[in-house]
Amino acid sequence: MIPAENLNTFPMPPGSYLKFAGLFFVQTMTRGILLSVLPLQAFAILGNAQRTSTLFFLVSVGGILASLIMPWVIQRIGNYRAFLVGSAAMLFSAVLLSCEQVVCFSVGLFFHVFSIASIEVSLTLYVLALIPRREMTQFEPLRIVSLVLALTIGPFLGVYFQEKILHSLPYIICASFVVLSILYFRLLGLQQVKVLGEDTRNVNPIRYMTRFVAQPRLRLAYGLILARSAWWTMFIIYMPIYCEQSGLGELVGAAIVSIGTAWTLTVPFWGWVGRRFGIQALLRSGFAVASILLVAVYMVADMPWVASVLMVFCALGTTMLDGAGNVLFFRAVRGRERAEMTAVFATYRDTGQLATPGLYAVLLKFFALPIVFSTAAVWMMVAAWYCRYVPQKMR
């Protein structure tokens, strides 16, 4: 519970960080339970990987628009109500996604992505309001572990419940966690916190996008986290499809996604590595390991069990990147620009979900599915090179 007398400063003592991080677990379960269900259901409805890529490409536009209009929304209704709007969109999406018709599923997927983007902006502003910059490296590993714990247990459970118990059960669980996240949010007292940005005037998306691009440290933070996000998008969407096409089955694909994301439980260790040896070394190593293993996966793609094991270890390399979390952004953003810069930064997830299937929608017209692995290797190599611009002394 946040004391009322400290609402506009950094009211949360370090001992409360774990409780705050728990909110990210509860909220992320709303999408974690559907993480493998959605690409598999889209694949079943649309019939092939290329059409599935096109659908995910189109609906990701909604996520980008949600992120960019959030400062305007927060200015008018406040951050708490903006969080409620995102939660309502998630509830609505759960109803539509449970249908097996193309139109309902597509609209539901749009609201699902819209909700994720909206809530991420809202919660990021609470992090910036409650956690001092110097303590971000302590809080971020806790936040990442809480978030990814949901993304670890959710994918397999979602597919298992849908196949073995009830088709609509994952969507019922999603809706239940939406309600639980709102109750948890209020239990923490976050509805009383006023964040910077709620009193913003003359919000202009073009203007604050230009301000973001003009700052090299923000561009670097965005580019590196976009590469990481695009990898996870590739892994979450295309590994279940690869397993289905190669004969391993849907449950195996969902299990691989869960096992791969389970590596993120090691994030506190990678956070320590970042503080001990520097964020630059941590990021460069993670990108390098992931790119090398992706090349190996592409070379053995005709041996699905071997490729799947390699992808699990590739996820470990990408998990190293999560040890840095959003620290590069948190350390670079200026206090008076938090709402606007957070809105732009939060588009990284949707940009990754937009660019990745968009790129693969084109490539899969001409190449077989393993092209997704070799292409991902290229952008991870480029990201490893760009890590040279991260300050070596940053902890």
The CATH code of the domain that includes 37 is: 1.20.1250.20
Mean pLDDT of 345-370: 78
- How confident is the model at residue 287, as a pLDDT? 92
- The pLDDT tens digits for 6-42 are 444 455 655 577 788 888 899 889 988 887 788 788 8
Phi, psi of 28 (to 5 degrees): -70, -25
- How confident is the model at residue 203, as a pLDDT? 53
- Chain centroid to Cα 125, Å, comes to 16
Please indicate, yes or no, if residue 246 is contained in any of the structural domains.
Answer: yes
Confidence bin at 177 (pLDDT 50/70/90): very high
Assess whether pLDDT exceeds 50 at residue 3.
no
Please indicate, yes or no, if residue 236 is contained in any of the structural domains.
Answer: yes
Work out how many domains the chain is built from and give that number.
1
Please, which residues have CB within 8 angstroms of residue 261's CB and are 6 or more apart in sequence?
Answer: 148, 151, 152, 155, 315
Q: How far apart are CA 202 and CA 206, in angstroms?
A: 12
Do residues 283 and 167 lie in contact, with contact meaning Cβ atoms separated by under 8 Å? Answer: no
The more confident residue out of 338 and 180 is 180
Do residues 140 and 395 lie in contact, with contact meaning Cβ atoms separated by under 8 Å? Answer: no
Q: Which two tokens stand for residue 7?
A: 């609402």
Do residues 160 and 252 lie in contact, with contact meaning Cβ atoms separated by under 8 Å? Answer: no
Please indicate, yes or no, if residue 394 is contained in any of the structural domains.
Answer: no
Confidence bin at 257 (pLDDT 50/70/90): confident
Q: How many CA atoms lie within 13 A of 116 on its CB side?
A: 28
Report the percent of the chain where pLDDT is more than 70.
88
- Domain range for 364 is 15-195+204-389
Task: Tell me which DSSP letter residue 189 carries.
Answer: T
Q: How far apart are CA 279 and CA 218, in angstroms?
A: 15
- The pLDDT tens digits for 102-160 are 888 888 888 888 888 788 888 888 887 787 767 776 787 788 778 878 877 877 788 88
Mean pLDDT of 355-362: 78
Please, which residues have CB within 8 angstroms of residue 165's CB and are 6 or more apart in sequence?
Answer: none
For 385, counting Cβ atoms within 10 Å of its Cβ (0-12 exposed, 13-18 middle, 19+ buried), the class is exposed
Assess whether pLDDT exceeds 50 at residue 250.
yes
- The pLDDT tens digits for 292-334 are 999 999 998 888 899 889 998 998 888 888 777 677 787 777 7
Assess whether pLDDT exceeds 50 at residue 4.
no
Confidence bin at 2 (pLDDT 50/70/90): very low
Please indicate, yes or no, if residue 208 is contained in any of the structural domains.
Answer: yes
Please indicate, yes or no, if residue 247 is contained in any of the structural domains.
Answer: yes
Please indicate, yes or no, if residue 4 is contained in any of the structural domains.
Answer: no
Place of tokens 């993120």: 264
Q: Cβ atoms within 10 A of the Cβ of 277, count? A: 13
Please indicate, yes or no, if residue 6 is contained in any of the structural domains.
Answer: no
- How confident is the model at residue 92, as a pLDDT? 92
Instruction: Tell me the average pLDDT of the chain.
Output: 80
Please indicate, yes or no, if residue 7 is contained in any of the structural domains.
Answer: no
